[in-house]
Amino acid sequence: MPKSTVATKRETTTQRSTARTEEADAIALLKADHRQVEGWFEEFAKARAGNRKQELANQICAALKVHTTIEEEIFYPAFYEATEEEELYQEAQVEHDGAKHLIDKIEGSGPDDELFDARVKVLSEMIKHHVKEEEKRDGMFAKARQSDLDLDALGQQLASRKAELQGTSRPKLIDKLTRA
């Protein structure tokens, strides 16, 4: 497949994912992030070329940095305030700290580093565990849905901050709401 077709398909998928999260509640937005990064981890595991591995590692690390920031700044404090679930709140923060440490190591290395693949694999495993904890039946997301959180408004805040961190324009839905 010509490289330009691959890039176009990838961009289209990203645009569709972004469009879906513009109008999503907080949990749907965060789950969409989870699925996107999971896909990139799968691609990384199959990749053979060093430049492709580097590209995927960069995408993964950038996405996770944005994701952890919006969770820590917006979602986790709102969740804790609404539920007072201190243990879940603290565990999520500690898991983020571990992931951020590994992200720093990955960003400071490359495919020529003998530990590069191992670091990305361990990060993948850490993120899988974290996602499972958040998304399980009695996890953070389920408890957030059971609380009195306004997940639609929270989703708008998350989407706006995410767009800001990514250097893109604010989502269309938020623009419509602020003009109304």
The two tokens of residue 78 are 């709102």
Per-residue pLDDT of the chain in tens (180 residues, 90 and over written 9) = 344 333 333 343 444 444 444 458 999 999 999 999 999 999 999 999 999 999 999 999 999 999 999 999 999 999 999 999 999 999 999 999 999 999 999 999 999 999 999 999 999 999 999 999 999 999 999 999 999 999 999 999 999 999 999 997 555 444 444 444
Distance CA 139, CA 120 (A): 25
Class (C level, CATH) for 3-179: mainly alpha
Q: Structure pTM?
A: 0.81
8 Å CB contact between 111 and 54:
yes
- Among residues 150, 164, 175, the alpha carbon closest in space to that of 79 is found at 150
Domain boundaries, the chain: 3-179
Q: Which amino acid is at 178?
A: T
